């Protein structure tokens, strides 16, 4: 594994400092919380996506999973629909339901790719259409309101000085770190991404590995959805609709190869941080929505150019 210092880490720092100097209101306590709130769900979804991309797959269905789980969670928890009276029980069941739903969709994706030998791109693209449509059909495009106070307050509830979303993010990161860098599954994920044939001959359970990464991607998308749902205080069938390319962009800009086998967790963290910071700082700068998109495009491209340039320098100096 090449552990060359990835330039995206430095890029994040430089951008952060620049934004702090140039953008009024960026380097404030308030905005830092804001940035972290925005970052957490994106980060959680992106690390799940990274696992899939490491096996040379792709999961385009994550935004649909976010939408479906948001709706499912909404139905379980909302006072308008919920069969459960106690709101804390409803929250627990709701979150459980969301995670299970995400896991099941991931399982379907994984089986289709691993066992049915279908191309990941098409499987998850039809998943995006189907489950995205499913969420809209379930709700007839209506948002689900009246979520329990416990969930709505969750982003602002602190435990040991840190708000719960940040704990959630750290927990997911920690677990994925263990999986990827310390566990059998992690070794298998990288091996399958590099060469599935060699892996299989060497006793790696390739199919199981592939199914697991899609399930983990589904579960992380569901956890991301919990945070989004809590933050927006609604179960929405179009939640996350515009997120897909942000998520994959965060992984790829972090340097993970779309051809599999190459990428580190900290790169994706940096990539997600970069994307979140970009949105946050451009918003603060008072740019309009469309200018934000243009500038975002330009900055992504510049970051990629610097990244390529940085990698080349590493090769030259080595």
Partner 1 sequence: MAVNGGQVLALVGENGAGKSTLMNVLGGIHQPSSGEMHLNNEPYAPQNAEDAYNSGVAFIHQELNLFPNLSISENLFINSFPTTKRAGLTLIDRSSTNQKARELLTRVDLKVAPDTRVEDLSTAQQQLVEIAKAMAGKPRIIIFDEPTTALSRHESQALFQLIGDLRSQGIAMIYISHNLGDIMQLADNIAVLRDGTLVSAGPKDQYSMNRLIRDMVGRDLDSYFPARSKKASDQAVWEVRKLKSDRVTNISFKVNECEILGFYGLVGAGRSEMVRAILGLDPVLSGTVRWKDSTYHKFSPAQWIKNGVVYLAEDRREEGLLTGKSIQKNIQLASFPRYLNPLKLVKYAPLDQESKVYADITKINYQNLNRQQVQTLSGGNQQKVVLSRLLMTHPGMLILDEPTKGIDIGARQEIYGLINKLVDQGASAIIISSEIEELLGMCDRIIVMGQGQIYREFSKQEFDKNTILEAALGSGISNMDRGD
Partner 2 sequence: MSNPVIFKRLRGQSIVILLALVILVFSLLSPGYFTTQNFLNILLQASGLTIVATGMTFVLLTAGIDLSVGSIMFVAGVISGKLVVGGLSVWLAVPVTLVLGIILGLMNGWFVVRFKIVPFIVTLATFFAGRGLGLLISETRAVNLPDEFLQIGSARILGIPLPVIIMIMVVAVAQLVLDRTVFGRQVYAVGNSQERSVKAGINLNRVLLRVYIICGCCAALGGLVAIAQLGAVSPTFGFQSEFMAIAAAVLGGTSLFGGKGRVFPGTLVGALLIQSIQSGLVIVNADPYLYPLITGTIIFLIVLVDSQRHYRRKQMKGIST
- Which residues contribute to the site for partner 1 (CB under 8 A)? 1-2, 178, 182-184, 186-188, 190-191, 194-195, 197-205, 261-262
Residues 6+ apart with CB under 8 A from 311: 4, 7
Q: Which residue has the tokens 């790696």?
A: 204
Beta bridge partners of 159: 162
Q: Give the integer Cα–Cα distance in Å for 135 and 192.
A: 33
For residue 10, the minimal CB distance to partner 2 (Å) is: 18
> Residue 206 or 238: which CB sits closer to partner 1?
206
Judged by CB, which is closer to partner 2: 3, or 117? Answer: 117
205 binds, among partner 2, partner 1, none (CB under 5 to 8 A by kind): partner 1
Least distance in angstroms from the C-beta of 213 to partner 1: 16
From partner 2, partner 1, none, interface partner of 232 (C-beta below 5 to 8 A by class):
none
* Helix boundaries (H) for 202-288: 206-232, 244-253, 265-284
Q: Which does 308 bind (CB under 5 to 8 A by kind): partner 2, partner 1, none?
A: partner 2
Q: How far is the CB of 182 from partner 1 (least distance, A)?
A: 5
253 binds, among partner 1, partner 2, none (CB under 5 to 8 A by kind): partner 2
Q: Which residues bind partner 2 (CB under 8 A)?
A: 60, 112, 116-119, 121-123, 125-130, 132-134, 136-137, 140-141, 245, 248-249, 252-253, 258, 288-298, 300-301, 304-305, 307-309
Paired residues of 162 in beta bridges: 159
Cα angle for residues 158, 164, 168 (degrees, 5° grid): 155
User: Which of partner 1, partner 2, none sits in contact with 157, Cβ below 5 to 8 A by type?
Assistant: none
Nearest distance in Å: CB 79, partner 2: 25
Question: 127: Cβ–Cβ under 8 A, 6 or more apart, which residues?
Answer: 60, 61, 64, 105, 108, 109
Contacts of 59 (CB under 8 A, 6+ apart): 48, 49, 52, 106, 109, 120, 124, 214, 217
Q: Which is nearer to partner 1, 131 or 190 (CB)?
A: 190
Cα 317 to chain centroid, rounded: 34
Q: Smallest distance, Å, CB 185 to partner 1?
A: 8
């Amino acid at each position: 594994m090449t552990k060359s210092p990835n330039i995206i880490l430095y890029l994040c720092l430089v951008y952060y400092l620049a934004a702090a100097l140039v953008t009024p209101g960026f380097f404030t306590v308030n905005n830092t919380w804001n940035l972290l709130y925005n970052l957490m769900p994106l980060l959680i979804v992106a690390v799940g996506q990274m696992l899939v991309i490491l096996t040379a797959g792709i999961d385009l269905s994550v935004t649909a999973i976010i939408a479906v789980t948001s709706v499912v969670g909404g139905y379980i928890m909302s006072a308008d629909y919920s069969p459960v009276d106690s709101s804390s029980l409803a929250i627990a069941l709701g979150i459980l339901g969301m995670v299970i739903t995400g896991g099941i969709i991931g399982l379907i994706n994984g089986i289709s790719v691993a066992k049915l030998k279908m191309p990941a791109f098409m499987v998850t693209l039809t998943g995006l259409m189907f489950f995205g449509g499913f969420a809209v059909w379930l709700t007839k495009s209506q948002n689900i309101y009246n979520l329990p106070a416990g969930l709505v307050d969750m982003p602002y509830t602190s435990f040991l000085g840190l708000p719960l979303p940040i704990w959630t993010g750290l927990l997911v990161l920690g677990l994925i770190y263990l999986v990827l860098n310390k566990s059998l599954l992690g070794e298998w994920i990288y091996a399958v991404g590099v060469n599935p044939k060699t892996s299989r001959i060497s006793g790696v359970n390739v199919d199981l590995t592939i199914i697991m990464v899609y399930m983990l991607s589904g579960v992380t998308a569901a956890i991301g959805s919990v945070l989004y749902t809590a933050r927006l205080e609604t179960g929405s069938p179009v939640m996350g609709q515009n997120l897909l390319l942000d998520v994959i962009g965060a992984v790829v800009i972090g340097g993970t190869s779309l051809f599999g086998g190459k990428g580190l967790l900290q790169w994706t963290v940096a990539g997600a941080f970069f994307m979140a910071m970009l949105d946050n700082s451009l918003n603060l700068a008072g740019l309009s929505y469309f200018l934000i998109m243009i500038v975002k495009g330009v900055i992504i491209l510049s970051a990629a150019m610097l990244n390529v340039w940085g990698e080349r320098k590493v090769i030259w100096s080595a």
